[in-house]
């Protein structure tokens, strides 16, 4: 991915490596500064293949002090981890960009793995300053990245399963939706899952006694208001609703129980990962700075840190960070036509976390709320006003991380009624 404001870096070596990766093997190509192919090799995706790759690089002048830069179409995996040891610069080239470069070498549209490796090597040879190497994040930062992304995926998976259960209940069990959908947490509540497991069909739910309902609530960990909740659920389950035939209803019940097993696992995974994220995030030296910002709790702050990383040289200024998050507008101009709109190419995880952050900050920061209302008053829709607020918050975050200071409401929004003044951008 190209970087608008990244620091330019050039390798002192005149040899460049390109790797076309696949599941079982990888194709490697080495070229010199004139574009001559020096070596090509296919390696396996295992320790023996990685050793063969490092030996090949060493044969052509690779040293710890002056490593050969490598271009590859991914930023994760064991191969990338091996290549990133030491001071080597690894460039993750967007596959779409690599496809555009391929057309420069021929118009026949031919494609091969060795040819793609050669294209990647030539990308570094011709346009290395236009591409950004993978950030030099610390092990702590990369740990937070792995855990925060896993927790976010678990939350999304939990939401997907919850939506499937909700749709299923609408088919045959509306009383369950009435009982739990309006509660905080909805169907993901432990007591909701416990009661639905005990009574997966309307017929069985209508036969539940108060003692059985109280037992289910206690199994779910509920400690207060058990009697009142049990009576509420009994009254809801005994209201008459349209019903399927008994055998069809039982079939729906089996389907619900199968989904509930997956739902329980997803909820437990989300909770376990959330604990791991909190433990790893609080140990990070930047945690205090992130948590000083309004609207950022531990989980959301960890997601922002996970996507930004902790390499202080990754973004030369705040504009690069804003472009990476997709909060800064992009201009397309040609002749007399000019268009300013939102960015479509961005870090989607950071963009998602940023919108949650901007929304949460409205309650926690008078300055953020005033800024949002100012943008709304000048014609921005809700999403546009939130994107503009996120743009400002990211500028302030970059300032605080660069100067190692905590967020200060008075400096960040010096004049609350004129929020257009940016002090940290």
Mean pLDDT, residues 143-162: 96
- pLDDT confidence of residue 98: 87
Predicted confidence (pLDDT) at residue 5 exceeds the cutoff of 80: no
Q: Which position has the token pair 């804003």? A: 322
- pLDDT confidence of residue 23: 87
Share of the chain above pLDDT 90, in %: 72
pTM of the complete model: 0.85
Mean pLDDT, residues 327-340: 84
- DSSP 3-state of 161: helix
CA dist., res. 114 & res. 277, Å (int): 40
Mean pLDDT, residues 394-421: 80
Is 75 in contact with 59 (CB distance < 8 Å)? Answer: no
List, for residues 50-79, the tens digit of each pLDDT value.
Answer: 999 999 999 998 888 889 999 999 998 999
Task: With cut-offs at 50, 70 and 90, classify the pLDDT of residue 9.
Answer: very low
- CA distance to 228, 296, 418, per residue, from 367 (Å): 43, 15, 9
Task: With cut-offs at 50, 70 and 90, classify the pLDDT of residue 87.
Answer: confident
Token reading at 369: 């709320």
Is 61 in contact with 68 (CB distance < 8 Å)? Answer: yes
Mean pLDDT, residues 183-212: 92
- pLDDT confidence of residue 345: 83
Q: For the domain 15-134, what is the CATH code?
A: 3.30.420.10
Predicted confidence (pLDDT) at residue 339 exceeds the cutoff of 90: no
- pLDDT confidence of residue 101: 86
Share of the chain above pLDDT 70, in %: 93
Task: With cut-offs at 50, 70 and 90, classify the pLDDT of residue 297.
Answer: very high
Centroid of chain to Cα 127: 29
Question: How many CA within 13 A on the CB side of residue 328?
Answer: 18
- pLDDT confidence of residue 387: 94
- DSSP 3-state of 87: coil
Task: With cut-offs at 50, 70 and 90, classify the pLDDT of residue 103.
Answer: confident
Task: With cut-offs at 50, 70 and 90, classify the pLDDT of residue 150.
Answer: very high
- Whole-number average pLDDT of the chain: 89
Predicted confidence (pLDDT) at residue 420 exceeds the cutoff of 70: no
Task: With cut-offs at 50, 70 and 90, classify the pLDDT of residue 106.
Answer: low
Contacts of 63 (CB under 8 A, 6+ apart): none
């Amino acid at each position: 991915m190209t970087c608008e404001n990244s620091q330019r870096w050039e390798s002192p070596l005149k040899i460049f490596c390109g790797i076309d990766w696949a599941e079982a093997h990888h194709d490697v190509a080495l070229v010199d500064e004139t574009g001559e192919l020096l070596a090509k090799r296919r390696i396996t995706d295992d320790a023996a293949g990685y050793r063969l790759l490092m030996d090949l690089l060493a044969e052509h002048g690779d040293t710890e002090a002056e490593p050969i830069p490598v271009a590859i179409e991914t930023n994760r995996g064991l191969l990338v981890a091996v290549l990133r040891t030491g001071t080597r610069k690894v460039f993750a080239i967007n596959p779409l960009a690599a496809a555009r470069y391929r057309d420069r070498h021929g118009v026949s549209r031919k494609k091969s793995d060795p040819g793609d490796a050669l294209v990647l090597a030539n990308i570094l040879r011709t346009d290395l300053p236009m591409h950004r190497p993978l950030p030099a994040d610390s092990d702590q930062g990369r740990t937070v990245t792995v855990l925060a992304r896993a927790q976010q995926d678990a939350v999304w998976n939990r939401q997907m399963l919850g939506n499937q259960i909700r749709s299923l209940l609408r088919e045959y069990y509306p009383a369950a939706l009435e009982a739990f959908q309006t509660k905080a947490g909805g169907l993901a509540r432990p007591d909701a899952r416990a009661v639905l497991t005990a009574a997966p069909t309307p017929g069985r739910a209508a036969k539940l006694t108060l003692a059985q309902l109280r037992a289910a609530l206690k199994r779910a960990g509920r400690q207060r208001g058990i009697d009142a909740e049990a009576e509420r659920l009994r009254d809801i389950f005994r209201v008459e609703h349209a019903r399927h035939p008994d055998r069809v209803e039982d079939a729906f019940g089996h389907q619900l129980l199968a989904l509930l097993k997956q739902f329980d696992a997803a909820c437990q995974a989300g909770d376990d990962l959330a604990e791991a994220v909190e433990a790893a995030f609080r140990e990070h030296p930047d945690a205090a700075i992130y948590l000083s910002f309004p609207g950022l709790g531990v989980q959301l702050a960890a997601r922002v840190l996970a996507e930004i990383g902790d390499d202080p040289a990754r973004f030369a200024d705040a504009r690069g960070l804003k472009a990476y998050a997709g909060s800064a507008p992009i201009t397309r101009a040609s002749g007399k036509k000019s268009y300013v709109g939102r960015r479509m190419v961005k870090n989607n995880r950071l963009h998602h976390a940023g919108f949650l952050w901007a929304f949460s900050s409205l309650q926690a920061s008078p300055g953020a709320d005033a800024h949002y209302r100012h943008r709304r008053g000048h014609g921005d829709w809700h999403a546009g006003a939130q994107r503009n607020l996120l743009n400002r918050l990211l500028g302030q975050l970059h300032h605080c991380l660069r100067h190692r200071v905590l967020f200060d409401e008075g400096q960040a929004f010096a004049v609350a009624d004129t929020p257009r003044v940016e002090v940290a951008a």
